[in-house]
Structure 1
Amino acid sequence: MKKNKISFETNFWAHHELENPFEVIDTFLGSESLAFFKQTLSEIVFYRSKDEVYQKECPGDVFFTYTAFRSFLRACSALQHKSKKWKVTAVSAERRSILSLASLTIEEYENPFAVFENAFAEHSLADFEFFLCEVIHLALRPTIVEFDSDLLTPYIHIIKMLDASQLLLESQVEKIKSKEP
């Protein structure tokens, strides 16, 4: 039975379609800094409860950011299944991330794939895409609108996925060799 491959839809912001989730993460975090994406997401979430429009001087940038984050979430969804096939090798002290633990627990720092597993065990890809669409919709409205969905938990998971993705880029990731019978 053939697996249905999810499209990462990177052609909108990366100008070509990427098919490997590791390449999507690399291109995503290569397009802007980790700090930029964390700050942007935090600002969008903050503006959802303000009566001001987020980036009203250039709302097209918000759409561009939305498409990049959506691709990122799709790649993270694919990475949740990689922990059985890939492992992060130990990072030496001199190569240790400037990010340190950031939002990650010690266990998540040692195995960043656990971040993706935990996030997608709690929320589906559709839930994360809904969150992203909803917070951007609310941030671009000139009025405050009441909402009844949980916007904090997906936000925390995305921040953790950003940190885990940065850690994956800074670490050596190698395929686990299958054990011969």
Structure 2
Amino acid sequence: MKKSRTNFDPRFRAHKKNSGLQLMETFFQFNELDVSKERLSNIMNYAVKRNSWINEDPAMIFEFYQSMRSLIRAGYLMMLKERKWTVNTQPEKISPLVLGLLSEKEYRNPLLVFKTAFREYTIKEFDYFMSGIVYFSMGVYENLPERNIVMPYIHTVKMLDAAHLILQRKRVKNTADSNSE
């Protein structure tokens, strides 16, 4: 009897081959920014607690894990294409509430977030980080993650902010283009 294997690789389908922007749009169709950041924070918090585990449905956690992996890959694809998503604003016009974890420079050009993240960590290391925090958040374990998981977490939250910012700017640009016609 032939064994069949289930492929659990996250693959949100994009209309164009290797379209990072389409993958980001798909991510935010199913996940809101604030909910995603809160869920990532909860997973991270439970990953470092020794005697507790997350109370969410494991299927939801796994689905979120897959979608985050796709978002990270989308950012990598966007970074490779080097498309500019900059905005010309004066420093005094940017509110600290709008920035989130992003610096003013990263707010002006969100692709810098992805460049910085992938300069420090590879996609494989981000996968290891995501799978590690999901694993440790799902049960009570004696050991804690062996690597520093704070920096990949900060980069991941910044990637969420940057991806959302890129999509906002795309919508504004498309609206401006359609109004000018």
Could you state the TM-score of these two structures normalised by the residue count of structure 1? 0.78
Which of the numbers 110, 113, 127 marks the counterpart of 2:111? 113
Q: Does 1:155 align with 2:153?
A: yes
Query: Do the aligned partners of 1:97 and 1:170 also contact (CA within 8 Å) in 2?
Result: no
Query: Do the aligned partners of 1:80 and 1:116 also contact (CA within 8 Å) in 2?
Result: yes
Provide, for residues 104-160 of structure 1, a one-character-per-residue CA deviation record: whole Å limited to 9, x for no partner: 111100110111000000000001010000000000122342332010000000011
- In structure 2, the partner of 1:35 is 34
Higher share in helix: 2
Root-mean-square deviation (Å)? 2.4
Provide, for residues 63-95 of structure 1, a one-character-per-residue CA deviation record: whole Å limited to 9, x for no partner: 111111111111111122233x43434479xxx
- In structure 2, the partner of 1:102 is 100
- In structure 2, the partner of 1:143 is 141
| Partner-residue secondary structure (3-state), 1:9 | coil
Query: Do the aligned partners of 1:49 and 1:145 also contact (CA within 8 Å) in 2?
Result: no
Provide, for residues 45-68 of structure 1, a one-character-per-residue CA deviation record: whole Å limited to 9, x for no partner: 000122222135x21111111111
| Number of residue-to-residue matches in the alignment | 157
- What code does the residue aligned with 2:122 have? S
- In structure 2, the partner of 1:9 is 10
- In structure 1, the partner of 2:47 is 48
Query: Do the aligned partners of 1:53 and 1:141 also contact (CA within 8 Å) in 2?
Result: yes
Could you state the TM-score of these two structures normalised by the residue count of structure 2? 0.78
Structure 1, unpaired ranges of 5+: 1-7, 12-16, 175-181
Structure 2, unpaired ranges of 5+: 1-8, 174-181
- In structure 2, the partner of 1:67 is 66
